[in-house]
Structure formats: C-alpha cells, structure tokens
Amino acid sequence: MNRIARIAAGVAGAAALLAAPVPAFASAPAAAATVTTCGWSGLQAGLSTKVCADVTGNSVVLYGQIGLAGPPSPGTPWPPAPQELLTRLTANVAGGNSLGAVSGRAVFQVSTVRVDGITATVPCGSTVHASFSVESFYRGPAPVTADVPVVC
C-alpha cells in the first residue's frame, strides 16, 4: 500500500469513529445543596456563642459554636487559661415534637469550638427552633436561639 492510500484509510477510519453515535451517560441527579443558618451571636460566660443548623433536603444537623467575644484587654495574659464549660443544645419542630436535648462539657481556650449533638429528619415546610447555652462555674447560661426553615 502506498503512502497516499494509508493516509486515505486513516482519514476514513477517523471519520467513521467521529461519526459513530456516542452513548448517552445517565446524568446523576443533582445533590441537594446544604444551607447553613446561624442565629445571632450572644455573650455567655465571657465568650461569644451561637447556634447553627445545616439543612440538606429535610435532614437537619444542629450544633453550637463557642468563640472569643473579642480581643483581649491590655495586660491580659495570653493565651488565656482553658475554661471548662457546661453546654446544652436543644431543638424542636415549631408547634410540634422535640428533636432532642444534649448536655455535655467542652474545654475552650482560644480556637472556636463546635459542639455537635442533634441530627434529625423533619417534614418539609416546617421550622426548627434550636437553643444553645453555655455556662461556667461563675456564670449561668444565657441561651442563644435560631429558627431555621426546612425548605425541600
């Protein structure tokens, strides 16, 4: 076979491959997006706290966060001494059932601490009411709250 015949055969083969139908790939359904909603921050036990919810479809994951309330005052030793805290996370469906309550202990020093605790499946269109409180030996709780819509 001469050189031109080989090139012609290669071009014909490439054209046949390109003209062949491509199998359709089944597209995977789009995963539901996770929406994170947090309530207003509050001051508890000298710290900044808030309660948050991650909502994916009708699945809700609730957690509290503990962080620094602000920069340290001049002359304050750094890093601050660790604080042992008592935590409480509660949730319910507005006008409905309790989703649970979790109490525990957390140690806070400088880095933000996430306090996990409640995961639930709730009806679409409902609102979840969550509350998170922190207390220390000298300071009582001052709960922060969030009302989270579950839109599916």
Looking at the chain, the whole-number percentage of residues with pLDDT higher than 90 is 53
User: Which H/E stretch holds residue 19?
Assistant: helix 3-19
- Please report which helix (H) or strand (E) contains residue 146, including its range: strand 144-149
Q: How far is CA 135 from the centre of its chain?
A: 24
Does CATH place domain 32-149 in 3.30.930.10? Answer: no
Which residue numbers in the chain have pLDDT < 70?
1-31, 45
Q: Which residues pair with 114 in a beta bridge?
A: 65
pTM for the model: 0.75
Report pLDDT for 29: 53
pLDDT of residue 115: 95
Tokens of 47: 């710290």
Instruction: Answer for the pair 32, 131: CB distance below 8 angstroms, yes or no.
Output: no
For 53, the 3-state DSSP assignment is strand
For the chain, the structural domain boundaries read: 32-149
